[in-house]
Structure 1
Amino acid sequence: MFLVFPNPQVPPDTPDLAHAQTLSQDYALAYYEAIDPLNEKDTLDKWKAANGFGSGTGIEVSAVFGDIRDLGYGRKMTARRDPARKTIAFLVENYLVSPGGVYGYTPESLDAALASDTRWRIQYNAIEYSLGPNAQPGDVPFAKFYNFDPVSGQRRLTVDIDGRGQKAMPAVCFSCHGGRADALERNASGKLFFGHPLFASANGDAQARLQPFEVGNFDFSKVTGHTRADYEAALKLMNRFVLCSYPVPAGGPNNCPDEPVFNHPAKIEEWQGGAANLIRNAYGGDNLPNDTYVDTYIPSSWANGNPNVYRSVIAKSCRACHMLRDNGRDGDSSGFPPNPPHVDFDNYQQFVDKYAKLTRHYLFDLGNMPLAKIVYDNFWQSDGPQLLAQFLEPLTGSIARDASGKPVQPGRPVADPGPLTRTVLPGWVPLRAVQTFNDAYSWSVIQAPAGVAPQSVPIQDADKPQARFNATVGIYTVQLVASRAGVQSAPQTVTVVVKDSIPGLLDQNTIGLANIKAIMADNCISCHSASQLAPNSPEPLPPVDFADDVGLYERIRSRINFTDIATSRLLLKPADLVAHGGGLIFDASLPPGDQSRANYDNFINWIANGAPQ
């Protein structure tokens, strides 16, 4: 499914999208309650009035264009910046004409937008950059996302963006606007609510951003008054509005020189506004001296590393969403800025070191990237897969190819037993496969300790994605084969080392939240605690507090991906397998059975067993 976060927050016992929290109406209700607690913007007319549309104040500008690359709509966009209200707002009418019922961009959608043909208007989307409810001195504006019914104007909880079913707000927007799709938090009275990272100031601030207008990816009418030349100035002004919403990193140029009320310095913890580089490059540098948008942007590290992969793959299929992601804290353990963010893919060496393996996993195995359907289709219809595979294979190993040597588009059965090579104590050992495109599973023990016949080892639910086997002391090799429509995958194995005892290793069948909390107290809370830091401390706040007992289970569970546990932040971050401000905490490269990886194995065992409280 497209426009769904790789971690959609599913429960451990039913890890399918039908039960994903981020796709539920409860998620949308909690979000709107956070950003609009009094329902003052629950209709299109109320939202427009609150943001001053048609009021004659501020600056208001419009453009009509076709969105070829991303969502395929004809778009009638109106933007306004209002210093008196301290708001920047964008309202877009989306039109989609699909001849033959095939989703994708067509010039007819642009024509419908130009004519405001209500037969094809499928939604109103709105983004508002403003202060949060009950803002306090020192708070900064943040981006808020709304969707309104194209007929009634009523605010909607879900939206069908790409003809592939309803998805809940706001995660469907955050997927390409840099926002965090964390699980809902729980307060002291037990109510779930939409929270915020520690370094933000208001509930609902998920650190989402405004997208630059990449004009070269738009289609325009040839009708006088609606050509690209006619709209170039309006789109440049919209890009100025976008730039005004970005934080300014230390020593960086002023993002909003004509309206200083919008300028705010980037906190050391937050996203450092790297997408501003794209806008400045497209218009000739600081102050945007050029009238016409020309995209020649390539970061210097990629220009020196692999410019072809950047231009043909990153810029076309990854950059639009990734450039708005990450935060300033996710440098390496040697410090924070000037260490840049990582997952924005702006740094060649950081991509190679931290994200090559995940990129291969998401694009070539799971098929959940690129995240938008049109971008995904265009990627697989281009030479991008071949270029990327050639680049990744020396770093990550071979990638499945067809008889002609081309990378195989995802859809084949893949046996992926996750990060379950580990150490356990005697007893039942949980197994958990990544489900991907598979419809059948087969677990088997193919190697057991001396004197134990592998076929005699008891396995429960051996034909299901979640299974378990009963182990005595020794070393086991467990094999997984997956199938789809009768076609089998290549087998994959995990090694499980069973010991009577090992210092620090807990029973995989009884480990609970209290044990995980104790491990975190020794290894994580020195950084992951708001209370540990003095007011105005120069030490940056992390996104999440693991010291506060209220809602702790929800915050930890939010960092577990039960659709693919190997990609859980609770495992990746402390093992420094992706960028982590705290550096290496648990060394996952040590062999199973090594005492020094006991806490990492405790985390794996707890997650594999469903992360019980």
Structure 2
Amino acid sequence: MKTNHVGLGLAAVLFLSVLGCHSGIKQVVNSAPAAVTPLPDPIAPSDPTGTPKPTGAPFFVSQLLKFHVPWPTVIEVAVDGFIMREQPQGCGDEGCYIVLSNTEAPSGQANFVIQVFPPAYKRRANKLEFEVTDVSVNPSLKGEMLASKPLRLIMIEALGPVLGGPPNPASVPGTPEFAALHDGGFFDFIGLSSQQDADAYYQAIDPTGSKKTLKLWKSVNGFNPNDDTLDDAKAVYFNGGDLGFGRSMHMKKKPNGDIAYYVSNYPTVEDARRGTNLIATVAMDHSPGPQGGSRFTKFYVYNNVGDGAIVSSADLDGNGQKFVPKLCIICHSGAAGSTGAGDVGARFLPFDLASFQYSSVGGFGRSDQEAEFKKLNAGILDTSKSAATEGLIQAWYGGASLPQPAQISDAVPAGWSGHDDLYLRVVKTSCRGCHITRNSPVDFASFTSFDAKSGSAETFACSTRNMPHAKVTYQRFWLQRLSGPGGPTDQVGLLKQAGLSGWSSSDPCPN
């Protein structure tokens, strides 16, 4: 069954989770975007690092940049991808920055002028990358809640030998990296599927085309295509933990035990609530294959036109189209080899309510939807779940029979007893989202299993820089500043002090 690519024109959004393999987009900045304007005559305040320019040596002081975003906006600046600040200026081992002006314009925009200085040992060619996302207009969001709504300025090494001053965003050839040393994009850790792989996968799971549109898929799986009030469960939320989309999630279980979920994705949670500006829909069903037999999990991606035609690929990170099924199983687990009869061994991801954000409109807050989310999580227990997923859902709801009506978001699995801080502040936010679908020890279901893989984790996080492997999660891992008296101020620092056999306090991992 031939399918088309999905091309979705919403700037600065990326996603991969709960129903994974989700269609989304990110606009890569190959030249200065309209909202970012290099000033022709940079002001040159004193270098706050206090390092004089060596005679005849390359010296980087950023060009001043002026840009505007919706007011009010908290400015977050990342220097070499390792620091996040919310103050008008700041310095650290990683460098310094100054917000020279921040004013509210009559148009309701916030105008910023920023100058950035790298540390002395990095005085060499650099380039700048800018990304502006407008996830929510809620001005009360602060700190971590803004991690998915940043105005970000990232300084990284230039691709070309441009010395003596920063190239502006339009003057450096090539695609800017997301952050320091991470230039390959995401979703490729297990390799990439091809168009032929995607066609073969869809042919294996739906040889007759009975699910070639979303409307047909809904009918086959017991949904009423025209009335979602008949769904077994549904919820609206914003996935601020790893993808950055407003979502409308739906579930239906048939009398024969087959169960299916679909999620329609939107730019914001308010779009999801209203059903406006649909981007794409991703569906998963747990049912026998076309030839019968045991149930297994299958993926489908549908576009936003008419009845929703099935599509085979999406550009999720600005580095080109990537195809199902590997685009899906990178987070949902499964075999990375052939598609075979369509059963790649994939699994559903549980719904982590603490990682979501919610509408302030009555009926759509977290407390308003707790019962629906509990049904969504309980449904996952009727699929081919991992042991770690089952254990987490039971911990969230107080036991095997799920007696608690509301999710206990700070529940710590028994295997992590005595290591609560590491689990809640690092593993929960930066690892669990995808690893929970794996088998032990890669499921990180206990401190012992995490410690067994800590050496590999240190390599993937600090050396190859390809973990965490979804953009918002990666961003939070490096940029989040931990609060609390004493102790590490970031996730890397916490990992260094956690007593892990493969990750010591002396490991050269920037933080």
TM over 0.5: yes
Corresponding position: 1:6 with 2:189: yes
Letter in 1 for 2:220: A
1:157 maps to a residue whose letter is S
Gaps of 5+ in 2: 1-183, 481-489
What does residue range 102-117 of structure 1 map to in structure 2 within 5 Å? 109-117=268-276
2:374 aligned residue? 236
Q: Report how far residue 371 of structure 1 moved.
A: 0.9
Aligned residue pairs, count: 316
Does the C-alpha gap of structure 1 residues 365 and 61 become closer, same or farther in structure 2, counting only changes over 3 Å?
A: same
Counterpart of 2:210 in structure 1 is 40
Partner of 1:361: 459
CA distance in 2, matches of 1:392, 1:173: 34
1:172 counterpart (303, 327, 349) = 327
Shift of 1:58: 8.5
Residue pair 1:129, 1:143 contacting (<8 A) in 2 also: yes
SS at match of 1:386: helix
RCO greater where, 1 or 2, for CA within 8 Å and sep 6 or more?
Answer: 2
Question: For residue 78 of structure 1, what is the aligned residue in structure 2?
Answer: 250
Q: Deviations 1:502-527 (Å, cap 9, x if unpaired)? A: xxxxxxxxxxxxxxxxxxxxxxxxxx
Amino acid at match of 1:395: G
**Residues 216, 294 of structure 1: 8 Å contact kept:** no
1:307-333 deviation per Cα after TM superposition (whole angstroms, max 9, x unaligned): 32222111111111111112xxxxxxx
Q: Given the alignment, which residue of 425, 429, 436 partners 1:312?
A: 425
Secondary structure class of the residue paired with 1:275:
helix
Matched-pair contact (CA < 8 Å) for 1:2–1:372: no
Q: Secondary structure at the match of 1:156?
A: strand
CA contact (8 A) 1:159 1:168 kept: yes
Secondary structure in 2 matching 1:117: coil
The one-letter code sitting in structure 2 at the alignment partner of 1:112 is D
* Counterparts in 2 of 1:318 and 1:235: CA distance versus 1, 3 Å: same
In the TM superposition, what whole-angstrom CA distance separates every residue of 1:241-299 from its partner, at most 9, and x where no partner exists? Answer: 1111146xxxxxxxxxxxxxxxxxxxxxxx5x321111111112122111111123323
Conservation of the 8 A alpha-carbon contact between 2:451 and 2:500: no
Larger Rg over CA atoms: 1
Distance (Å, rounded) in 2 between the aligned partners of 1:396 and 1:286: 34
Q: Partner residue of 2:266?
A: 95
Asked whether the 8 Å contact 2:497–2:504 carries over to 1, the reply is: no
- Of residues 339, 346, 358, the one that matches 1:220 is 358
Distance 1:39 1:215 in 2: 35
Which residue number in structure 2 is paired with residue 69 of structure 1?
241
Measured in 2, the distance between the counterparts of 1:322 and 1:52 equals 31
Over 3 Å counting, the alpha-carbon distance change for 1:215 and 1:163 in structure 2 is farther
TM-score (norm 2): 0.58
> Quick check: 1:346 aligned with 2:445?
yes
In the other structure, the counterpart of 1:395 is 502
1:396 and 1:53 map into 2 onto residues whose CA distance is 48
Alignment match, 2:415: 301
Q: What per-residue deviation string (whole Å, max 9, x for no partner) do you get for residues 390-432 of structure 1?
A: 347753567664xxxxx327xxxxxxxxxxxxxxxxxxxxxxx
Within the candidate set 271, 286, 307, 1:129 is matched to 286
Equivalent-residue separation in structure 1 for 2:436 and 2:498 (angstroms) = 21
Report the alpha carbon displacement of residue 122 of structure 1 after superposing the two structures with TM.
1.6
C-alpha distance in structure 1 between counterparts of 2:473 and 2:353, whole Å: 16
- Structure 1 equivalent of residue 199 of structure 2: 29
Aligned counterparts of 1:30 and 1:228: Cα–Cα separation in 2: 40
Q: Tell whether the 8 Å contact from 1:3 to 1:172 is kept in structure 2 after alignment.
A: no
Alignment root-mean-square deviation, CA: 2.3
CA distance in 2, matches of 1:6, 1:365: 14
After superposition, give the CA deviation of every residue in 1:189-241 in whole Å (9 maximum; x if it has no partner): xxxxx22xxxxxxx221111111111121111121222222211111111111
CA 61–352 in structure 1, closer or farther in 2 if over 3 Å, else same: closer
User: In 2, Cα distance between the equivalents of 1:301 and 1:288?
Assistant: 19
> Could you tell me whether the CA contact under 8 Å between 1:393 and 1:399 is conserved in 2?
no
Corresponding residue number in structure 2 for 1:583: none
Aligned counterpart, 2:314: 159
Q: Measured at CA, do residues 400 and 343 of structure 1 come closer, stay the same or move farther in structure 2, by a change above 3 Å?
A: closer
- Provide, for residues 484-510 of structure 1, a one-character-per-residue CA deviation record: whole Å limited to 9, x for no partner: xxxxxxxxxxxxxxxxxxxxxxxxxxx
1:376 and 2:474 equivalent? yes
Name the SS for the 1:234 alignment partner: helix
Amino acid at match of 2:330: S
Q: Greater share of helix residues, 1 or 2?
A: 1
* Aligned mates of 1:230, 1:348 — CA distance in 2: 34
SS at match of 2:350: coil
Letter matched to residue 368 of structure 1 = N
Aligned-partner residue type, residue 443 of structure 2: D
In the alignment, which residue of structure 2 is the partner of 1:146?
300
Change beyond 3 A, Cα 1:396–1:233: closer
Please give the alpha-carbon distance, in whole angstroms, between the structure 2 residues aligned to 1:6 and 1:36. Answer: 27
Q: Which structure shows the bigger proportion of residues in strand conformation?
A: 2
Change (3 A) 1:43 1:59: closer
SS of 1:291's equivalent in the other structure is coil
Deviations, residues 50-92 of structure 1 (Å, cap 9, x unaligned): 11211799852221111110111000111111123x3211111
Matched-pair contact (CA < 8 Å) for 1:147–1:159: no
Contact 1:3 1:372 (8 Å CA) reproduced: yes
For the 8 Å contact 1:4–1:175, the answer to whether it is kept is yes
CA contact 1:313–1:384 (8 Å) conserved in 2: yes
SS at match of 2:417: helix
C-alpha contact (below 8 Å) 2:224/2:230 kept by paired residues: no
TM-score w.r.t. length of structure 1: 0.49
